[in-house]
């Protein structure tokens, strides 16, 4: 076990297993949990500050049955990735953006949250402690899952008296079973992911439980995932269960504007900048479902999915298909983004953090 560490320190793990490359089928990583060596844990009482973060052996945690997260859903999560470069160094992609998003979410959910510095240093420490699990260059990435939860005991509805911040990691490959092949979406007309004034724009755990019913029904019918519409007009695109959506028409790339019901994705934001730098016109606005009929290409973005081309969208029984294979714009954006994330092209915007 490691001694407690100050969150600003970088930890060099000293353990006999640290140097050994795990026996994994690196060519066939999907998106599932693979237990790794260490997790990071840091606590804070209501009104206090997070302190004394430490790396512990990855394993189960103990919670009161009346913990706020279990009873009232006071929980947030984040997702980011670490890539191994050819020279064996490791790159993180925009970790401070995740830290800031967790702080915004914590404010909405009445939770204490780590500072940006604490968050980023904890991510670095966790990745370094699990370095052997970062897939070889070009074989995938280490998915990093920071969690913030109301861990203190409550009975009456109130903010939890204690908060726990945890980071665990898992090597991953492609999110969808289709790999990089286009996915098939179905538009959900009855169930909604988020409502105005609700929590759709923060990464709270309940948003993900709320989509399982529609997602399971879609998967049972052979679709890859669900695309949600706004709940007021049932007309405007919102997002897919676990990623944002983009529609391409000529040189114009449109994506639903952030307006409280859509998750402000870090990949979404990065793709908007990358696309503009490549000369595309990017519009953040209301995107009507009818625009899918006219689109040349549709793609999804997210940390887990990266960029996933959409092969078809089915709406009220009508299937709209987008050509054969991956669209040229989706392919171009995917290629630039992933080469940036893997350190294969110059990072002019300082998005990557090298470990
Ligand atoms: C991510 O892209 O990191 C997410 O948080 C989506 C999750 C449902 C896998």
Ligand 1 pocket check: which of 30, 262, 304, 307 to mutate, most ligand atoms within 8 Å of Cβ?
304
What's the mean per-residue pLDDT of the chain? 93
Least Cα distance to 138 among 193, 186, 195, 85 occurs for: 85
Instruction: Provide DSSP, 187-222.
Output: EESS--S--TTSSTTS-BHHHHHTTHHHHHHHHHTT
Ligand 1 pocket check: which of 215, 300, 303 to mutate, most ligand atoms within 8 Å of Cβ?
303
Nearest alpha carbon, ligand 1 atom 5 = 79
So what's the pLDDT on residue 180?
A: 78
Mean pLDDT over 145-152 rounds to 98
- Both tokens of 140, joined, read 């995938």
Nearest alpha carbon, ligand 1 atom 6 = 242
pLDDT over 50 (residue 7): no
Confidence of residue 349 (pLDDT cuts 50, 70, 90): very high
User: How far, in Å, from the CA of 241 to the mean position of ligand 1?
Assistant: 9
Instruction: Provide DSSP, 76-134.
Output: EE--EEEEE-TTS-EEEE-HHHHHHHHHHHHHHTT-----HHHHHHHHHHHHHHTGGGS
Ligand 1 binding pocket (C-beta < 6 A) is 79, 208, 242, 302-304
User: How far, in Å, from the CA of 15 to the mean position of ligand 1?
Assistant: 30
Q: Which helix (H) or strand (E) holds 254?
A: strand 252-256
**Residues designated as active site:** 203
pLDDT tens string 154-187? 999 999 999 999 999 999 998 888 777 899 999 9
Nearest alpha carbon, ligand 1 atom 3 = 79
Euclidean distance between CA atoms 104 and 123, whole angstroms: 18
**Helix, strand or coil, per DSSP, at residue 253:** strand
CA-atom Rg of the chain in angstroms: 20
Confidence of residue 17 (pLDDT cuts 50, 70, 90): low
Record the pTM. 0.93
Write the CB contacts of 8 (distance below 8 Å, at least 6 apart in sequence).
117, 118, 121
* Strand 225-229 relative to strand 183-188, pairing: parallel
Nearest alpha carbon, ligand 1 atom 8 = 242
pLDDT tens string 117-134? 999 999 999 999 999 999
pLDDT tens string 74-113? 999 999 999 999 999 999 999 999 999 999 999 999 999 9
Query: How many other β-carbons are positioned within 10 Å of the β-carbon of residue 58?
Result: 17
Euclidean distance between CA atoms 313 and 185, whole angstroms: 5
Ligand 1 atom closest to 267 (CA): 2
DSSP character at residue 295: -
- Both tokens of 5, joined, read 């560490």
So what's the pLDDT on residue 8?
A: 38
Nearest alpha carbon, ligand 1 atom 7 = 242
User: How far, in Å, from the CA of 224 to the mean position of ligand 1?
Assistant: 15
**Helix, strand or coil, per DSSP, at residue 333:** helix
- Both tokens of 275, joined, read 């696309």
User: How far, in Å, from the CA of 345 to the mean position of ligand 1?
Assistant: 25
For residues 99-131, b (16+ Cβ closer than 10 Å) or e, as one string? bbbbbebbeebebbbbebebbbbbbbbbbbbbb
So what's the pLDDT on residue 3?
A: 35
């Amino acid at each position: 076990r490691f001694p407690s560490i100050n969150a600003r320190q970088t930890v060099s793990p000293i353990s006999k297993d640290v140097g050994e490359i795990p026996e994994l089928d690196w060519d066939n990583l999907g998106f599932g949990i693979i237990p790794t060596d260490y997790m990071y844990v840091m606590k804070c009482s209501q009104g206090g500050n997070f302190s004394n973060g430490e790396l512990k052996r990855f394993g189960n945690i103990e919670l009161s049955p009346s913990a706020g997260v279990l009873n009232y859903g006071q929980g947030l999560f984040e997702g980011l990735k670490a890539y191994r470069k050819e020279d064996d160094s490791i790159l993180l992609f925009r970790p401070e953006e995740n830290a800031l998003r967790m702080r915004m979410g914590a404010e909405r959910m009445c939770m204490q949250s780590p500072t940006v510095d604490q968050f980023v240093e904890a991510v670095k420490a966790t990745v370094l402690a699990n370095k052997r699990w970062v897939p070889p260059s070009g074989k995938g990435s280490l998915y990093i899952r920071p969690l913030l939860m109301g861990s203190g005991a409550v009975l009456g509805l109130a903010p939890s008296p204690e908060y726990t911040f945890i980071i665990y990691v898992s090597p991953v490959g492609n999110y969808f079973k289709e790999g990089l092949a286009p996915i098939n979406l179905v538009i959900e007309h009855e169930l909604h992911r988020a409502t105005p004034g609700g929590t759709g724009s923060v990464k709270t755990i309940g948003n993900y439980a709320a989509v399982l019913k529609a997602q399971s029904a879609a998967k049972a019918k052979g679709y890859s995932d669900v695309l949600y519409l706004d709940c007021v007009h049932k007309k405007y695109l919102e997002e897919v269960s676990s990623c944002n959506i983009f529609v391409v028409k000529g040189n114009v790339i449109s994506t639903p504007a952030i307006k409280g019901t859509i998750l402000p994705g870090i990949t979404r934001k990065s793709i908007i900048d990358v696309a503009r730098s490549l000369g595309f016109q990017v519009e953040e606005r209301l995107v009507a479902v009818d625009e899918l009929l006219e689109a040349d290409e549709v793609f999804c973005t997210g940390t887990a999915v990266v960029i996933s081309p959409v092969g078809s969208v089915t709406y009220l029984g009508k299937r709209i298909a987008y050509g054969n294979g991956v669209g040229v714009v989706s392919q171009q954006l995917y290629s630039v983004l992933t080469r940036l994330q893997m350190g294969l092209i110059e990072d002019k915007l300082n998005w990557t953090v090298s470990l």
